[in-house]
Amino acid sequence: MSPRFNILFLALQAALVLAAGCNHDNCLRAVIASRAKPFPTVASQDCTSFFHKTVTPCPSTTTVTVTAGESGKALPRRDVELFEDTITVSPTTPPVVSTSSSAPATSSTSTPGDCENSPTSRQCWGKQSIDTNYYEEWPQTGKTREYWLSVQQGDCAPDGYKRTCMTFNGTIPGPLITADWGDNLVIHVTNNMKDNGTAIHWHGLRQLNNTEHDGVPGITQCPIPPGETLTYSFPATQYGSTWYHSHFTLQYAEGLLGPLVINGPTSANYDEDLGMLFLSDWSHVETFTLWDTAKLGAPPALENTLINGTNTFDCSGSTDPKCVGGGKKFETVFEKGKKYKIRLINVAIDGVFQFSIDGHSLTVVSADLVPMKPFAADSIVLHPAQRYDVIVEANAEPGDYWLRGGWVDACGKNKNATEMTGIVRYDAKSTATPSTTSTVVADTNCFDVPVEQLVPAFEYDVGTIGSLSATNLSFTIDGYFKWLINTSSLLLDWADPTLKIVMDGKSVFPTDYNVIPVEATAPGDWFVLVIQDTTPFGLSHPIHLHGHDSWILEQKVGKFDGTTNGFNFKNPARRDTVTLPGGGYIAIAFEIDNPGAWICHCHIAWHASEGLSLELVESEAAIPSSAGVKDWKTIGEPMCNSWAEFYKGSEFKQEDSGI
């Protein structure tokens, strides 16, 4: 039976298992060992808050053994890899703590006769492969990866300018969270801030039948109040490169973000995985202060950019006591003849980047969490929240080369845009400043990578459309600039999230929640969403859908004609963050197979705060019985009670949409 469609047209730390009494001791050792440059006292703070144990030595008979395999080199960065692999307890061998940056890139379910993942067979993954339908099938590893994250505030100076930041475990980016495809992840998040809530989203992960763990305040949970811990748990049913970040107001722009890697197959071969490469803009002023200007509709240009949490800033001649200097360029080392996998990610507030490496070409192998048929490029454009895995062959003449983040001026302004650079060296001992030049033609239109280039490696067609309905997008100045969808700007009540309303048996949602019901009349039904930009601004919007990938049926500049004539149903490009071109439209589709409350929003942080978002409440009647909501009464509801108690006595009040 051909799928039927509901169409809406909208104008728009591994498991730490230790003997009682030595938890803190081993935690402290692990944290200190894994930090290249820890903040003062942060290790002790982390471990005390995680375990609330007396600091006592570990008995000599207790051992922490980390099972770790061979993995690729890590890109050096200013963060921490904490408790990365499955930890077991042994009474006989000396303590070992892994500080490698990624889990073994081999399938833990391999048996003789399976296809082993190796430098010459990266498409393999034990009993699965690049051709596996990961929407329906994934490895059953039986492994759990458990991590502890502490949300805290402190001073930082990633580019040599000192300011107050929000961090995970004291670092920007936060610690690497990694697992193999099919593992289970258990992540404990403790809010160690004094006067602010938080909630953590695991970007791009479907959370299949697990909406409670999506991490969006006002939709799937109440915020985590100070002093409280919330445990998120979910299976890694997908694989690839993504990130975790606060979804609470503008917190991720303050530093609350980190890398999340699920090891799995790749559509082209490579020798070493160099891990995540974060591209971001960076403000020397707290983002919440900038909000007073941004909410008037004119976001300010930020002072700098960062590559993997570091960059330089010219403090020479400055009398500003906060301009302390000491920033540095990101560097990595290539070995002639090797092929390297680099996981690119844009974590900016509103910046768009055109990544390239002088003298080298890129082979693109994935977009977001969707493996792609490989294609060559001299550069790749990333809008906020988008990711691309690329393979770079070290085939240039040995020397020093500029790695360019590539700020795109057509999409916005930055005060230090030309200095968004790092260095690729063929000799680790070299300290020379590169003299290379770029031959890349700068992007001038602020568009996505053309969908024609993004061909998913695992083919998944879309069927026939049945009906269509339409609404309009507008904007208003009502206290601050607000984006309107269905004449409504998103405004959530943190204490009354959508999921709570569903679990309480209510069927009416506040108008400001911008809820769209998504219901299937038969298995295999699809939902299609067309978003049209009719505003006069010509701005592009990276639209991120939670709970699903987006099958991109059409993405064009101009007015949608109301027909499906231009839609591509044959293995269209799919990803979780799709850019709506200024003055244009996107048509995206997904199968109705994941009950939950899912937000769909612009990932420009200012725009999300200004209400450019809607909710899709999918298969509402099935939500209470879905696997991930079984803990609502014991976890979700008590957290809402704790939040309500904190918020009524707090001076901190909501000033934006809530996300």
* Concatenated DSSP letters of 3-54: PPEEEEEEE--------TT-HHHHHHHHHHHHBSSPPTTHHHHHHHHHH---
Average pLDDT of span 437-453: 96
Query: Tens digit of pLDDT for each residue in 544-600?
Result: 999 999 999 999 999 998 888 899 999 999 999 999 999 999 999 999 999 999 999
Asked whether the bond before 450 is cis by omega within 30 degrees of 0, the reply is no
Q: Which of 191-200, 395-404, 486-495 has the lowest mean pLDDT?
A: 486-495
pLDDT of residue 422: 99
CATH code of the domain made up of 273-453: 2.60.40.420
Q: Which two tokens stand for residue 617?
A: 């409440």
Q: Which two tokens stand for residue 518?
A: 């998504």
Cβ-contact 197, 646 below 8 angstroms: yes
Report, at the CATH architecture level, how domain 5-12+458-626 is classified: Sandwich (2.60)
Dist. CA 231–CA 209, nearest whole Å: 17
Query: Tens digit of pLDDT for each residue in 393-438?
Result: 999 999 999 999 999 999 999 999 999 999 999 999 999 999 999 9
pLDDT of residue 12: 43
Q: Which helix (H) or strand (E) holds 551?
A: strand 550-557
E strands, 69-114, in order: 87-90
pLDDT of residue 296: 83
Dist. CA 469–CA 562, nearest whole Å: 9
Q: How far is CA 316 from CA 139, 157, 160, 325, in A?
A: 54, 16, 11, 8
Q: Which of 160-169, 261-270, 619-628 has the lowest mean pLDDT?
A: 619-628
Query: Residue 85 pLDDT > 90, yes or no?
Result: no
Query: Residue 89 pLDDT > 70, yes or no?
Result: no
Q: What is the pTM of this model?
A: 0.86
Dist. CA 555–CA 563, nearest whole Å: 14
Query: Residue 446 pLDDT > 90, yes or no?
Result: yes
Query: Residue 623 pLDDT > 80, yes or no?
Result: yes
Q: Which two tokens stand for residue 632?
A: 């609502």
Contacts of 455 (CB under 8 A, 6+ apart): 372, 373, 375, 571, 573
Q: For 317-320, which contacts have Cβ atoms below 8 Å and span 24 or more sequence positions?
A: 320/161
Query: Tens digit of pLDDT for each residue in 254-294?
Result: 999 999 999 999 999 999 999 999 999 999 999 999 998 88
Q: Which residues pair with 181 in a beta bridge?
A: none
Query: Residue 497 pLDDT > 60, yes or no?
Result: yes
Dist. CA 28–CA 50, nearest whole Å: 11
Task: Classify 351 as helix, strand or coil.
Answer: coil
85-110 burial string, b = 16+ CB within 10 Å, else e? bbbeeeeeeebebbbbbbbbbbbbbb
Direct distance between the N- and C-terminal alpha carbons of the chain, in angstroms, rounded to an integer: 39
Dist. CA 494–CA 217, nearest whole Å: 6
Q: What are the sequence ranges of the domains in the chain? A: 5-12+458-626, 273-453
Q: Which of 31-40, 72-81, 90-99, 518-527 has the lowest mean pLDDT?
A: 90-99
Task: Classify 187 as helix, strand or coil.
Answer: strand
Contacts of 99 (CB under 8 A, 6+ apart): 33, 34, 81
Using 50, 70 and 90 to split pLDDT, how confident is the model at 320?
A: very high
* CATH topology agreement for domains 5-12+458-626 and 273-453: yes
